[in-house]
């Protein structure tokens, strides 16, 4: 659900929580709105979302409050998640959002919203992303881990597959490194957003977006396969990925947490994929897995 422009007042929903409970709170919030702003400070983590003030939004907020009370099922103290809802008369959602989403650097990339002034950022590759439309603003740890390793893996002219593209952020980043990318998502809206973002980043000639499940829309093999999804989906992909990866190709898996990364890495090892690099950011885990065989023969990117 996404706030429209017609509402004359807005509901600001903020969840104040501990860093430990923030993931659970974010998972609950994402069912209410596709994006939110996050502030981390001494007092903990504050997640904020804005919705038009109407009966549908109020029912959604009620549902959120009910689910927050049930966080004990995740083994967390419900008191750790406090929800505050306030009405903001006449304030456009966009204005509030824009205050929170500022350009930021991840490795070689500078991620910025369309309204922020263009900054050259010391040779960074700029990714223009509109937050709140689909998962993949670069704010999430699982996305950041992938962005960090991309420049080491993606060579100019390489063929890259981005399965679970969301906003298209990883596909666009790979294209900016000189790759030709096939991006896949099972969510039609995400596919539309990824295409729009590829156009906004002027890489639509190098990024093809197809809608489908896992490798369904894929023909042929890639030098690099990117998948930032969940451990469950990664486990489904393990027996299939070998058909879509060139010998010596790299598979970047992300979206795992400490508790479930091992099962994915063990399943991958059983299918001949060697762990080349393990990455972590807080609870989040990612890995670069290498297929047996020849080297990636594409020329290095500049």
Write out the residues near ligand SAM by the rule CB under 6 A.
134-136, 143, 146, 163-166, 169-170, 184-187, 190, 213-214, 228-229, 233, 255
Element (H, E) at 268: helix 261-270
Residue 167: CB minimum distance to ligand SAM, A: 6
Q: Would you say 49 or 193 has its CB closer to ligand SAM?
A: 193
Q: Would you say 82 or 192 has its CB closer to ligand SAM?
A: 192
Q: Let me know: does 248 contact 295? Beta carbons within 8 Å.
A: yes
Residue 227: CB minimum distance to ligand SAM, A: 8
Q: Nearest-5° angle of CA 94, CA 134, CA 185?
A: 160
**Residue 210, beta-bridge partner list:** 184
Residue 272: CB minimum distance to ligand SAM, A: 22
Residue 12: CB minimum distance to ligand SAM, A: 25
Q: Would you say 52 or 255 has its CB closer to ligand SAM?
A: 255
In angstroms, the Cα distances linking 103 to 30, 75, 130 are 22, 35, 11
Q: Would you say 82 or 210 has its CB closer to ligand SAM?
A: 210
Residue 62: CB minimum distance to ligand SAM, A: 26
d(CA 260, CA 74): 15
Q: Would you say 3 or 166 has its CB closer to ligand SAM?
A: 166
Residue 168: CB minimum distance to ligand SAM, A: 8
Task: Dump the DSSP string for 34-102.
Answer: S--EEEEETTEEEEEEEEESSHHHHHHHHHHHHHHTTGGGGT--GGG-EEEEEEEET--HHHHHHHH--
In angstroms, the Cα distances linking 90 to 7, 50, 51, 53, 95 are 8, 12, 12, 10, 11
Q: Let me know: does 178 contact 302? Beta carbons within 8 Å.
A: yes
Q: Would you say 187 or 276 has its CB closer to ligand SAM?
A: 187
């Amino acid at each position: 659900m996404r706030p429209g422009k017609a509402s004359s007042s807005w509901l600001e929903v903020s969840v104040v929580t501990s860093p430990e409970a923030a993931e659970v709170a974010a998972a609950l919030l994402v069912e209410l709105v596709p994006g939110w702003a996050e502030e981390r400070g001494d007092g903990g983590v504050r997640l904020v979302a804005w919705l038009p003030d109407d009966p549908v939004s109020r029912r959604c907020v009620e549902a959120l409050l009910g689910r927050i009370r049930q966080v004990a099922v995740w083994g967390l103290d419900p008191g750790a998640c406090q929800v505050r809802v306030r009405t903001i008369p006449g304030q456009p959602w966009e204005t509030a959002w824009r205050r929170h989403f500022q350009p930021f650097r991840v490795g070689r990339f500078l991620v910025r919203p369309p309204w922020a002034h263009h900054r050259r950022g010391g040779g960074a590759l700029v990714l223009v992303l509109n937050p709140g439309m689909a998962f993949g603003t670069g704010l999430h740890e699982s996305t950041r881990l992938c962005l960090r390793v991309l420049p080491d893996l993606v060579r100019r002219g390489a063929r890259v597959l981005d399965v679970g593209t969301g906003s298209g952020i990883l596909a666009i980043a790979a294209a900016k490194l000189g790759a030709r990318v096939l991006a896949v998502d099972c969510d039609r809206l995400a596919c539309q957003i990824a295409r729009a973002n590829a156009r906004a980043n002027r890489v639509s000639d190098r990024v093809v977006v197809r809608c489908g499940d896992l490798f369904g829309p894929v023909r042929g093999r890639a030098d690099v396969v990117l998948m930032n999804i969940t451990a469950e989906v990664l486990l489904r992909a393990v027996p299939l990925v070998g058909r879509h990866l060139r010998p010596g190709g790299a598979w970047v898996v992300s979206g795992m947490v400490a508790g479930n990364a091992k099962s994915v890495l063990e399943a991958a090892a059983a299918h001949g994929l060697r762990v080349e690099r393990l990455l972590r950011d807080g609870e989040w885990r990612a890995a670069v897995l290498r297929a047996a065989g020849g080297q990636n023969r594409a020329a290095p990117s500049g």
